Amino acid sequence: MHHIPLAERMRPKTLNEYIGQEHLVGSKGVIRQMVSRATLSSFILWGPPGVGKTTLARVVANELNRPFYTLSAISSGVKDVRDVIEKAKSQKFFNTPPPILFIDEIHRFSKSQQDSLLSAVEQGIFILIGATTENPSFEVITPLLSRCQIYILKPLSDEELEILFKRAIEVDTELKQLRFELKEREALFRFSGGDARKLYNIIELLASTQSKDGCVEITNQKVVEVLQQNPAMYDKNGEMHYDIISAFIKSIRGSDPNAAVYWLARMIEGGEEPKFIARRLVILAAEDIGLANPNALLMATSCFQAVQVIGMPESRIILSEATIYLATCAKSNSAYEAIGNAQRLVRETGNLPVPLHLRNAPTELMRDIGYGTDYKYAHSYEGNFVNQEFLPEKLAGTTFYIPQKNSREDEIATRLRVLWKDKY
């Protein structure tokens, strides 16, 4: 087989060859419109691996015949950014359109690296195209975000994957020498997970199973067997990604620290983004532990902040500590249930008026018509509490929060009963 990977051999050169992302490159797509008008502005492509972010950036540069510089956030520093800026400046002549700077994994750029881009983007020294698998609003500084459009790329559909499959076996110099028989396609596309690169990797593995007469028969069982014989590392964006994070969360929810640490290790060994794991711990601390131990949210938040500062490999220790702590905490989803109950009732009842005694009264007219009248200031009463209604009249007496059976919420329930008597 050819030494160049199939994914690279099949990389499209033009927008017409590009498969997927119709909302961006279709006849009315915003990127196609920019290319057709040659009015390119900076943008960031956000989506999972293998959906064509890097390819799309190269295609745009190729279609517009622009110089194309590329940096990887993993291996490039501020000096590399400045070198590219100087190179772009030196090649700038009168009305020549600016070159394109493509930054892969821009979410990994530090604040100082991102700051070094701002002035050049503002001055039009180059057009910035970034690619990220992480939510840019979390990872990209606000000034840079404000200068870039964000375009979301979607996983490829089975229909789009089938187009890529047929094109590969018909066009690729190596593959067209073989005879492919696609008898079953479910496993092929399911394990590809909307990722073109992964599809091509599986095709190459299948091609190595050709019979003596050059026939490659594709069935669900054959795909499974080939992948088991060639186990890939943990897949950060495919089906296993979601299965493992699910097992991780459910192990913590189920108070099993051994299982939780095992699934954590699986993610770490597979190269999962530590901040992704830490964010999930923050959500879990509020959703599944909540008021049974309010310190859980503090622990998870501290873990997230520490992971951002420390980085790997030491972050694994921080994640392990937080995971074990959360797994061994008492559990309660009462806060999660309470907001869900309240939101459902809001959707059913609409915008009920705020009771007059709870309304703000900054003007004399508002006071004259009753705003704020009869409001009782809790701190003026014994124990800093006074019985009054805080819900809209139609919802008076409605219960959203129901304390669950754990030591912390037993205390809460007792206090509420003392204060509100039969109301709680």
For 126-153, the pLDDT digits (tens) are 899 999 988 888 778 888 888 899 999 9
61: pLDDT strictly greater than 50: yes
237: pLDDT strictly greater than 60: no
Look at the alpha carbons of 165, 168, 171, 175 in this order and tell me if their dihedral is positive or negative. Answer: negative
Which of 102-116, 247-261, 352-366 is predicted with the least confidence, judged by mean pLDDT?
352-366
User: What per-residue string of b and e applies to 356-391 under the rule 16 or more CB within 10 Å gives b?
Assistant: eeeeebeeeeeeeeebeeebeeeeeeeeeeeeeeee
239: pLDDT strictly greater than 60: no
pLDDT of residue 88: 82
Which of 42-46, 108-112, 263-267 is predicted with the least confidence, judged by mean pLDDT?
108-112
Q: Please say whether the beta carbons of 17 and 55 come within 8 A.
A: no
pLDDT of residue 325: 94
pLDDT of residue 328: 92
Nearest to 187 by CA among 239, 243, 237: 239
Decide: helix, strand or coil at residue 54.
Answer: helix
Is domain 158-229 annotated with CATH 1.10.8.60? yes
94: pLDDT strictly greater than 70: no
Pairing verdict, β 127-132 and 43-46: parallel
pLDDT of residue 233: 40
Q: Which two tokens stand for residue 240?
A: 């296993």
245: buried, middle or exposed (CB in 10 Å: 19+, 13-18, 0-12)? Answer: middle
Which of 10-19, 81-90, 168-177, 311-320 is predicted with the least confidence, judged by mean pLDDT?
81-90
What is the second-level CATH architecture of the domain 20-152? 3-Layer(aba) Sandwich (3.40)
Residue 230 binned pLDDT confidence (cut-offs 50, 70, 90): low
Domain ranges of the chain: 20-152, 158-229, 239-328, 348-423
Query: What would the pLDDT profile of 296-337 be if each residue is shown by its tens digit?
Result: 999 999 999 999 888 888 899 999 999 999 999 999 999 999
The whole-number average pLDDT for the span 373-391 is 84
Bridge partner residues of 180 (DSSP):
216
The whole-number average pLDDT for the span 239-247 is 74
Q: Please say whether the beta carbons of 5 and 50 come within 8 A.
A: no
- The Cβ of residue 109 has, within 10 Å, a number of other Cβ atoms equal to 27
The whole-number average pLDDT for the span 263-286 is 89
Fold of 239-328: Zinc Finger, Delta Prime; domain 3 (1.20.272)
249: pLDDT strictly greater than 90: yes
Which of 44-53, 180-189, 236-245, 362-371 is predicted with the least confidence, judged by mean pLDDT?
236-245
HSE of 163, CA atoms in CB hemisphere, 13 A:
10
**Whole-angstrom distance, CA of residue 185 vs CA of residue 194:** 13
